[in-house]
Structure 1
Amino acid sequence: MTTENSTSIESSWWSVPGRFLRREFLPVLTNLQLAIALLLLIALFSVSGTVIEQGESPAFYQANYPEHPALFGFLTWKVIQVVGLDHVYRTWWFLGLLILFGTSLTACTFTRQLPALKAARRWKYYEEPRQFQKLALSAELENGSVDSLKEILQKRRYKVFQEQDGILYARKGIIGRIGPIVVHVGIVTILLGGIWGAMTGFVAQEMVASGDTFQVKNIIDAGPWADSQVLKDWSVKVNRFWIDYTPTGGIDQFYSDMSVLNNQGQEVDRKKIFVNQPLRYRGVTFYQTDWGIAAVQIQFNNSPIFQLPMASLDTKGRGRIWGSWIPTKPDLSAGVSLIAKDLQGMVLIYDSTGKLVDTVRKGMSTQVNGVTLKILDVIGSTGLQIKSDPGIPIVYSGFAVLMLGTVMSYFSHSQIWALQQGDKFYVGGKTNRAQVAFEREVLEILEQTTSQLESEAVISAELGVKNP
């Protein structure tokens, strides 16, 4: 077998997959029905990710989505965790849908939109009257002038092409052909931003006592490419946490005064945060989402100040309270329990039998088991949700491009041809949208052309009378 035959067979072998892709795969990939179906699936699962809580513990889903009775007859905690509905936006199948939809739009752009733009930019003069019969809008006039039509079209912002006398082509709104391509670019950019955010972002939760400094460590959900190094060379200090209460005792708003510290402990940023007013630093956002009671500061007689932790107690859904046990004897043989329900400073003291001993506000003292117990302060803790999503700037840029492309798509791409042949004047045109408005514009152009010719004829006649 010769080298030429071998090369020919090899090229034919490699051309088979290419022909298959062009003839079989590409028509399916660029199918409009497929794109609509993918878009609906993406929207459906995005809604499920909004309705079903994301990134919670298995116990949470077991408690809220039991097997009996199952929500909607099928939605249980097992289904949620097996399918991945507890982290929809990072599942392989959701990312696969985004990639397939983006690939479909990209293929459609290269196989349909770009060729349509090239076809719109390619044009030819109409040199035969029969060519005007193919146009949706055409007219044959007894008189007319290409020069007068050219002037009128230029005033209407048409770009006019004329290489020889008696023949003219004009167009405007080519930007309308570019608009759909820009729309596709915007959508693909949004999809890329979503994929990048899912692969590189993370969500964390921290409960931090007022006055404490912490680094983000309690990450509950993260993409496989999440850069945890971004959190290791700086820390955050909760300078103060407090709650504003309404006159009736309800919570009006809770606040955290927070500082960002570098490795040397120097403050590089500071902000007071509250609900819907987060702290942002180096792409990480700290949201104020919860609060609690972290500790109580007490003093026995003239002893040093002790800070004892308080824990949240199970009330079976009847409110939130925190408690701590305080020994009143060195051998821990006796003590009292402290109960608090908010940060307004009131503490309830119970003895070992569960009997209420006293009610004390911070700064006050009472006698228990032969010692003076003073409540110095009740220290609150702030509940923070911490998020990083590097894909957000890409998504916002994609939306901007999408809006730009949408506006561009509203421009009509209008084309007009003219041919002057003997005593006949042929005019025709077509547009891709706003057909009625285009027809009205063409009629106005023809009327202006006729009126201008009549005026020129009258002027010529008058000049002929004055200059016999």
Structure 2
Amino acid sequence: MIQNTKCECGHQNPTGTVLCESCGKPLVDDLPLDSPLEMRYDGAARRSQKQNPDVIDRVWNFFSSVKIAIWLIILTLVGAAIGTIYPQESTFINLDDPAAFYKETYGTWGAIYQTLGLSRTYESWWFIGLLVMIGTSLVVCSLDRVLPLYKALSKQQVRKHLTFLSRQQTVLETDIPGDAEKWIADFGAQLKRKRYRVWTEGTALLAEKNRFSRWGPYINHIGLILFLLAVLGRSVPAWHMDQYVSIDEHQVKQIPGTNYYVGNDKFTVDYYKDEELPEQLKGTLRAKLYQTQATLYACTQYCDDDPLHDPVLEKVQSHDIEVNSPLEYKGLKLYQYNFEQKIRLIEVKPMLLDAQGDQSYGPFDLKMNDPAEKSQAGPYTLTLNDVYPDFGLDEEGRPMTKSRDFNNPAFVFRITGPDLDEKGELYIYFPMPSAADKGVQQQINDSFKKLGSNTGRFNFEVGKMENVTFSQYTTFLNVRVDRAMPYVWVGAAISMIGLVMGFYWHHRRIWLRIDEGKLTLGAHTNKNTYGIRSETASALAKCGIVVDPKALDNRRNSR
């Protein structure tokens, strides 16, 4: 069925229009005759009200629904709340096995929580999907309403239909003696004093103020959309990082996902004295200050795990990192998070002893966390054959490592060079053997000798303590990059501007026409009808018509 949307004034309205775009006459027959008109969007046609919608229209209608938007927000809030039941995985340092950790720490419910992926709620596809749907809803809701509203407000007609005027929130019908156009001019002057913009057309008048407040909700939407885009942008690695790195003293470690390296030159901790502590804490160690003397390096060459070359590092900044005093460089921030007091071996420079010629060669550098694949000691080449960070023996007496931490490191080298067999000789070396493993190095090398893997000719010796580098402290740094945060603040500021516009200013319009000495006035505001009734009554009183503001309330009169 084709709907006739042509008004009696001759204006052709789009399908779905409720009030004529020109004169304001109601075009829908089922509107209640005794109640004020619904003035949202000035009765303009919206795409979401289109008859016989196709697939695209149905998708548009879905996202343009305010009810759907509210449900999406509720679901997102519920999901965000569920994500706070247990700590998220991202809050832990060096979490190698999340499933085992959650089960051991939080029991069966923790294991279920981790299995369902709730331990990574805010990075999950469904949570990000909800945010995308909320953003889509904001865009569609805004476009569905702001375009018709802009069209209606930018093409307002001064002379409106009598039905339109008599069915506004604020209505007055009375007789006007004398010159109608002069009275219109006087009334318009009174409204201008109240900061209304006034247009006249013969014996008809339109006065309006604070139209800009109608755009407040849509400016708010723009801010929220920018805010959501910034939040989603934090899922892009280059835009956001929130990681933790542990660095021993005198160690340089790469910051994951970047070409930057950070070195812990020295760690300092200062404890409260007993007299500085309250009675209940006396006798306990409480850190007053802990500080990492850090140096940040940028990799300039061989940055991609080149096994043949060490990365070339260039110092870019130094800073003493303390709590709330991070190292900052080009958006990268390193915060002091925690520390651990534990002696660790960082590097040794052993000598290679040759019993046959009673000679020693070297020293050569041996770093615990990043040992070189090949080292040179005099004429001999030492090829790293195996590494046991935390040496131990399994039930069958075979070498194994208890953990990935260098608590009791052992290195197996294949030595090649002059006067040696072509395949070389195997030797194991313990830089810092535990009390239980002091004789194990010799036992294993003797077993290699029995197997024909070496001749027992070589041994290792550090000699002076200056060839040993220890770490007393391990510092834990929180590495943050948040390039989206400025956009979050800008979005929040725009959203706040929209809220202020919508809450503190009210769009007010007054229409009137005089026909053969009879005045018909209608006024509308989206908020605070008492205010517009008072302004209208005040202006009328200055023009000789005294009326009680309450008598202008058409909603009161229609009840």
- Contact preservation (8 Å) 1:120, 1:177: no
Q: Which residue of 2 aligns with 1:284?
A: 332
Q: How many residues align?
A: 371
Task: Provide the aligned C-alpha RMSD in A.
Answer: 4.3
Residue 527 of structure 2 aligns to a residue in which SS?
Answer: coil
> C-alpha distance in 2, partners of 1:437/1:77?
60
TM-aligned CA distance change 1:451 to 1:253, over 3 Å: farther
For 1:190, give the aligned amino acid: F
Structure 1 or 2: more helix by fraction = 1
For 1:197, give the aligned amino acid: R
Per-residue Cα deviation, 1:303-324 (whole angstroms, up to 9, x for no partner): x9xx999x99xxxxxxxxx997
For 2:335, give the aligned amino acid: Y
TM-aligned CA distance change 1:112 to 1:66, over 3 Å: farther
Q: Which residue of 1 aligns with 2:496?
A: 403
- Contact preservation (8 Å) 2:250, 2:471: no
For 2:217, give the aligned amino acid: P
Q: Which residue of 1 aligns with 2:550?
A: none
TM-aligned CA distance change 1:323 to 1:389, over 3 Å: closer
Q: Which residue of 2 aligns with 1:255?
A: 291
- Unaligned runs of 5+ residues in structure 2 are 1-51, 275-284, 301-311, 346-362, 369-388, 391-404, 410-428, 440-464, 547-559
Per-residue Cα deviation, 1:25-57 (whole angstroms, up to 9, x for no partner): 322222222111111121222233344323353
TM-aligned CA distance change 1:422 to 1:285, over 3 Å: same
> After alignment, is 130-139 or 31-40 more displaced?
130-139
- Please say if 1:412 is aligned against 2:450: no
For 1:80, give the aligned amino acid: Q
Q: 1:32 aligns with which of 60, 66, 69?
A: 66
> After alignment, is 253-262 or 83-92 more displaced?
253-262
- Please say if 1:100 is aligned against 2:136: no
What is the Cα deviation at residue 379 of structure 1? Answer: 3.0
Q: Which residue of 2 aligns with 1:154?
A: 192
Q: 1:188 aligns with which of 201, 225, 240?
A: 225
Residue 483 of structure 2 aligns to a residue in which SS?
Answer: coil
Q: 1:77 aligns with which of 105, 111, 114?
A: 111
Residue 415 of structure 1 aligns to a residue in which SS?
Answer: strand
- Contact preservation (8 Å) 1:114, 1:181: no
TM-score, L = length of structure 1: 0.67
For 2:540, give the aligned amino acid: L
For 1:424, give the aligned amino acid: K
What is the Cα deviation at residue 188 of structure 1? Answer: 1.6
- Contact preservation (8 Å) 1:277, 1:287: yes
TM-aligned CA distance change 1:168 to 1:28, over 3 Å: same
- Contact preservation (8 Å) 1:296, 1:308: no
> C-alpha distance in 2, partners of 1:48/1:285?
29
What is the Cα deviation at residue 102 of structure 1? Answer: 1.3
- Please say if 1:115 is aligned against 2:152: no
Q: Which residue of 2 aligns with 1:199?
A: 236
- Please say if 1:87 is aligned against 2:120: yes
> C-alpha distance in 1, partners of 2:162/2:140?
39
What is the Cα deviation at residue 438 of structure 1? Answer: 2.0
What is the Cα deviation at residue 415 of structure 1? Answer: 0.6
> C-alpha distance in 1, partners of 2:105/2:326?
38
Q: 1:124 aligns with which of 131, 145, 157?
A: 157
> C-alpha distance in 1, partners of 2:488/2:495?
10
What is the Cα deviation at residue 95 of structure 1? Answer: 1.7
Q: Find the structure with the greater CA-based Rg.
A: 2
> C-alpha distance in 2, partners of 1:160/1:22?
42
Residue 208 of structure 1 aligns to a residue in which SS?
Answer: strand
Residue 135 of structure 1 aligns to a residue in which SS?
Answer: coil
Q: Which residue of 1 aligns with 2:79?
A: 45
What is the Cα deviation at residue 215 of structure 1? Answer: 2.2
Residue 97 of structure 2 aligns to a residue in which SS?
Answer: helix
Q: Which residue of 1 aligns with 2:251?
A: 212
- Please say if 1:423 is aligned against 2:517: yes
Residue 108 of structure 2 aligns to a residue in which SS?
Answer: coil
For 1:293, give the aligned amino acid: Q
> C-alpha distance in 1, partners of 2:470/2:103?
40
TM-aligned CA distance change 1:376 to 1:30, over 3 Å: closer
> C-alpha distance in 1, partners of 2:160/2:232?
53
Per-residue Cα deviation, 1:338-395 (whole angstroms, up to 9, x for no partner): xxxxxxxxxxxxx99xxxxxxxxxxxxxxxxxxxx99999732210122333332332
- Contact preservation (8 Å) 1:255, 1:274: yes
Q: Which residue of 2 aligns with 1:225?
A: none
What is the Cα deviation at residue 414 of structure 1? Answer: 0.9
What is the Cα deviation at residue 133 of structure 1? Answer: 0.8
TM-score, L = length of structure 2: 0.57
Per-residue Cα deviation, 1:134-189 (whole angstroms, up to 9, x for no partner): 21112234447111222222222212222x33221111122221111112112222
What is the Cα deviation at residue 270 of structure 1? Answer: 3.7
What is the Cα deviation at residue 125 of structure 1? Answer: 2.0
Identity of aligned residues (%): 21
- Unaligned runs of 5+ residues in structure 1 are 1-17, 218-227, 298-303, 313-321, 338-350, 353-372, 453-468
Aligned structure 1 segments of 4 or more residues deviating by more than 6 angstroms: 322-326, 334-337, 373-378
Q: Which residue of 1 aligns with 2:462?
A: none
TM-aligned CA distance change 1:268 to 1:160, over 3 Å: farther
Q: Which residue of 2 aligns with 1:135?
A: 168
Q: Which residue of 1 aligns with 2:473?
A: 380
> C-alpha distance in 2, partners of 1:127/1:68?
69
